[in-house]
Chains A and B, each alone.
Chain A
Amino acid sequence: MIHPTDQLPGYVAATLPAEVADQVRGHLVECASCRAELAAWQQVSAGVRERVAAVAAPSPALFQAVRSRLTRPAVARYTAPLANAPVRRAVGVLAYQWRLIRWPTWVLAGLVLVATALAALSPIGADKVLATVIPLGAAAGIAGVCGRGLDPAAELTGSTPTSPRVVLLARLTSVLATATLAGLALTALAATTASAGLGGALAITMAWLVPLAALSAVSFALAVLVRPSAGVMAAVSAWFVRVVSIDGANRWLTDLVDPLWTKAPVVFALTAVVMALTIFLAPRRERFRAAS
């Protein structure tokens, strides 16, 4: 017959499922050998329980010590109301993003700006030069500042009351504002030098403002949702296709990217939609990454 030898310790500790315990109980009635085994396990159990009982219960002070060490769960959502003065807070958030840019970037941007100014004053034409340089600079800047995984303090900022979306928006705004101000300054310089008047200045502005929006949107979406290099590569690809096809040698290529430089209403509308959608999705993307 089969002795429930292995079940006896569990039977003594009362950790067996009820039906198994019933079977064991039934067997014990008719099996002296197993009853002797059971008696031995009961002695072991009594010894163990005596040792457990000999350990004095933890003092209440012990839990107080635990309580004093409790921190809120990591990266808890900030729920308290924010202070007043929303404008001041917005300016503060915006201003703090500038600290992320290191000095080599500023030097490089300054050099590019000077070179662009010189080229814009040359016979090439300010509109072509600015339409070539400014969108690419902005797209690279956006990928570098807003790109996913680039923020060394992301975990820390994640626990602050400022939403990650606000931070992202502030960084996007910073780069776009810088690029636009640089473009406007260079446009003013070129238009004044050539005595082009307000109409001429407006034409030059539209020449770079439309591709600025288009490439920024592409770079922003890919850099935030995929990775920074994807944003840069996509922007550079579109830019490159435009540059090599500008002489009209490859008609279909030109047709492909030309709208990004010329169709102002469509580009502006799509840019707004893509950027808004990216800002909406960004924190979800981060959470997904943290969970996976």
Chain B
Amino acid sequence: MGDGDLDLIQRIAAGDERALEHLYARHAQSLLAYAYHLIGDRQAAEEALQDTFVAVWRGAAAFEERSTVRTWLFGICRRQALLRVRRGPAAPAPIDEVPERPSEAPGPDAVVLARADASAVAAALATLPTIHREVLDLVFGAELSHAEVAEVLGIPVGTVKSRLFHARAALARALPVDVSLVAQGSTAASPRARSGPSMPPEQESK
């Protein structure tokens, strides 16, 4: 996919509208979904998508191949989408409610998630803070590698990894579950409390 994208970008840089249309056909759907879930408004998401491809048209000549084309597209789309988010800056990552990842046994959130169905997970995703949902959208929706997600979000790869686990834990908590399962992971169930046991906000995990 990547090589074809690069070829398209070069043709776009030379002023080929058809190449832009090809690029659009390849990526518009996932970009629109990404923008829509960032903004929460279909019309604003469509505007962000339009602006993304107008920006691609103008900026194709400046594309330096330091990232993949898809990463570049998602980076532009993210900026365009965030311009339209009216809720103010994203809330900081909740720092205290993150459980340690177990090294051996599957964590309580893994057990909870394994029992849920996709619709319930999708519904729970909608309740997550943007910072958690976005990383899941980029990894599983946009199917970007961890390094690419790190580039789009402008954060280290280690942070992407830890943020993924934070997001999954938050997702598990948002699911309707048995009390007995939650009791197993008591740290996971504790409410947001800044005075709780200190833990690195985004632990680097290699």
Asked if B183 is at the interface (CB within 8 A of a chain A CB), the reply is no
Query: Is the pair B145, A15 in contact by a Cβ cutoff of 8 Å?
Result: yes
Asked if B53 is at the interface (CB within 8 A of a chain A CB), the reply is yes
Asked if A72 is at the interface (CB within 8 A of a chain B CB), the reply is yes
Residue in A40, A46, A76 whose beta carbon sits within 8 Å of that of B106 in the complex: A40
Q: Please give, as numbers and ranges, the residues of chain A lying within 8 Å of B103 by CB-CB distance.
A: 3, 5
Query: Is the pair A14, B143 in contact by a Cβ cutoff of 8 Å?
Result: yes
Q: Please give, as numbers and ranges, the residues of chain A lying within 8 Å of B119 by CB-CB distance.
A: 47, 50
* Residue of chain A at shortest CB distance from B60: A73
Q: Report the stretch among B82-90, B92-100, B109-117, B190-198 that lies at the interface.
A: B109-117
Query: Is the pair B168, A41 in contact by a Cβ cutoff of 8 Å?
Result: yes
What 0/1 readout, one digit per residue, does chain A (47-77) give for beta carbons within 8 Å of chain B?
Answer: 1111110110110001101110111111010
A104–B126 Cα distance when bound, in Å, is 68
Q: Please give, as numbers and ranges, the residues of chain B lying within 8 Å of A22 by CB-CB distance.
A: none
Asked if A33 is at the interface (CB within 8 A of a chain B CB), the reply is yes
Asked if A200 is at the interface (CB within 8 A of a chain B CB), the reply is no
Asked if A37 is at the interface (CB within 8 A of a chain B CB), the reply is yes
Query: Is the pair A46, B50 in contact by a Cβ cutoff of 8 Å?
Result: no
Which B171-206 residues sit within 8 Å CB-CB of chain A? 171-172, 205-206
Asked if B37 is at the interface (CB within 8 A of a chain A CB), the reply is yes
B120 to chain A, nearest CB (A): 8
Q: Please give, as numbers and ranges, the residues of chain A lying within 8 Å of B141 by CB-CB distance.
A: 48-49, 51-52
Q: Please give, as numbers and ranges, the residues of chain B lying within 8 Å of A76 by CB-CB distance.
A: 15
Residue in A46, A52, A62 whose beta carbon sits within 8 Å of that of B121 in the complex: A46
Q: Please give, as numbers and ranges, the residues of chain B lying within 8 Å of A67 by CB-CB distance.
A: 17, 21
Asked if B155 is at the interface (CB within 8 A of a chain A CB), the reply is no
Asked if A192 is at the interface (CB within 8 A of a chain B CB), the reply is no
Q: Please give, as numbers and ranges, the residues of chain A lying within 8 Å of B28 by CB-CB distance.
A: 57-58, 62-63
Query: Is the pair B110, A40 in contact by a Cβ cutoff of 8 Å?
Result: yes
Q: Please give, as numbers and ranges, the residues of chain B lying within 8 Å of A71 by CB-CB distance.
A: 58
Query: Is the pair A51, B122 in contact by a Cβ cutoff of 8 Å?
Result: yes
Query: Is the pair A47, B21 in contact by a Cβ cutoff of 8 Å?
Result: no
Asked if A13 is at the interface (CB within 8 A of a chain B CB), the reply is yes
A16–B116 Cα distance when bound, in Å, is 26
Q: Please give, as numbers and ranges, the residues of chain B lying within 8 Å of A49 by CB-CB distance.
A: 118, 140-141
Q: Please give, as numbers and ranges, the residues of chain A lying within 8 Å of B148 by CB-CB distance.
A: 15
Size of A's binding interface in residues, CB under 8 A: 42
B173 to chain A, nearest CB (A): 13
Asked if A39 is at the interface (CB within 8 A of a chain B CB), the reply is yes
Q: Please give, as numbers and ranges, the residues of chain B lying within 8 Å of A44 by CB-CB distance.
A: 113, 121, 136, 140, 168, 171
Query: Is the pair B113, A40 in contact by a Cβ cutoff of 8 Å?
Result: yes
Asked if B29 is at the interface (CB within 8 A of a chain A CB), the reply is yes
B156 to chain A, nearest CB (A): 13
A46–B164 Cα distance when bound, in Å, is 15
Asked if A43 is at the interface (CB within 8 A of a chain B CB), the reply is yes
Asked if A178 is at the interface (CB within 8 A of a chain B CB), the reply is no
Asked if A36 is at the interface (CB within 8 A of a chain B CB), the reply is yes
Also in contact, A45 and B106, with CB within 8 A (given A5-B101, A76-B15): no
Query: Is the pair A62, B46 in contact by a Cβ cutoff of 8 Å?
Result: yes
B161 to chain A, nearest CB (A): 5
A71 to chain B, nearest CB (A): 8
Which B129-163 residues sit within 8 Å CB-CB of chain A? 136-137, 139-141, 143-146, 148, 161
A263–B148 Cα distance when bound, in Å, is 68
Q: Please give, as numbers and ranges, the residues of chain A lying within 8 Å of B126 by CB-CB distance.
A: 51
A1–B24 Cα distance when bound, in Å, is 45
Asked if B3 is at the interface (CB within 8 A of a chain A CB), the reply is no
Query: Is the pair A55, B46 in contact by a Cβ cutoff of 8 Å?
Result: no
B80 to chain A, nearest CB (A): 12
Asked if B63 is at the interface (CB within 8 A of a chain A CB), the reply is no
Also in contact, A13 and B111, with CB within 8 A (given A58-B46, A74-B58): no
Asked if A6 is at the interface (CB within 8 A of a chain B CB), the reply is yes
What 0/1 readout, one digit per residue, does chain A (4-48) give for beta carbons within 8 Å of chain B?
Answer: 011001101111100000000000000001001101110111111
3 A-B pairs closest in CB distance: A47-B121, A36-B106, A40-B110
Report 17 cross-chain contacts, Cβ distance below 8 Å, ordered by A residue. Answer: A6-B205, A10-B146, A12-B140, A13-B139, A15-B146, A36-B114, A39-B114, A46-B118, A48-B125, A52-B30, A55-B29, A58-B32, A62-B49, A63-B21, A67-B21, A69-B50, A73-B13
